[in-house]
Amino acid sequence: MAPRVQFYHNTPDRLALASELIGRAHAGGRQAIVRLPDAASLRKLDQMLWTQEPLAFIPHVGIDSALAAETPIVLAAAESASRWPHQDMLFNLAADMPPDIETFRLVVEIVGQSEEEKQPARMRWAAYKQKGLALKAFDAERREAM
């Protein structure tokens, strides 16, 4: 079964939106891989997930952890991702297209407001479309479908 792809465009704070969507996914019993552009963003999101509301802890580990297959949320820097321990959801905040997207049920692309982030996102949109995947777009700032 081919994945569905959701693009969240015009995102003022990509890590904040990722944190929110990850929280919703976890509350709904979903497993997710979060693919980040680099180790610095990974550390920042990791810190955000630890410091959310005290009673809203979201269990998460890095992809290299021995517990990755057992932990619902797994964080991976784009350059370090190899095999995915889950195939439910993939959040992509990296500029390139994630490998093995066909193995996921849902791919969530979070795109910022800068032209540096929009241009690679347009290329990913076209690549997903060329693969015949179901695409849906949202304006993250206005909180509405496009």
pLDDT digits 0-9 by tens, 4-29: 999 999 999 999 999 999 999 999 99
Please report, for the chain, the start and end positions of each structural domain, with discontinuous segments joined by +.
Answer: 4-145
By mean pLDDT, which of 49-63, 64-78, 91-105 is the weakest? 49-63
Buried b / exposed e along 68-101 (16+ C-beta atoms within 10 A) = beebbbbbbbbeebeebbbebbbbbbbeeebeeb
| CATH tag for 4-145 (out of 3.40.50.300, 3.40.50.10140, 3.40.50.10110, 3.40.50.2300) | 3.40.50.10110
What proportion of the chain, given as a percentage, has pLDDT over 70? 96
User: What pLDDT score does 81 carry?
Assistant: 64
Q: Is pLDDT at 35 greater than 80 in this prediction?
A: yes
> Residue 22, SS3?
helix
Predicted TM-score (pTM) of the model is: 0.93
* Number of other CB atoms surrounding residue 141 within 10 Å: 14
Predicted confidence (pLDDT) at residue 54 exceeds the cutoff of 70 = no
What's the average model confidence in pLDDT over 27-49? Answer: 94
Q: 62-82, pLDDT tens digit by residue?
A: 999 999 999 999 999 998 766
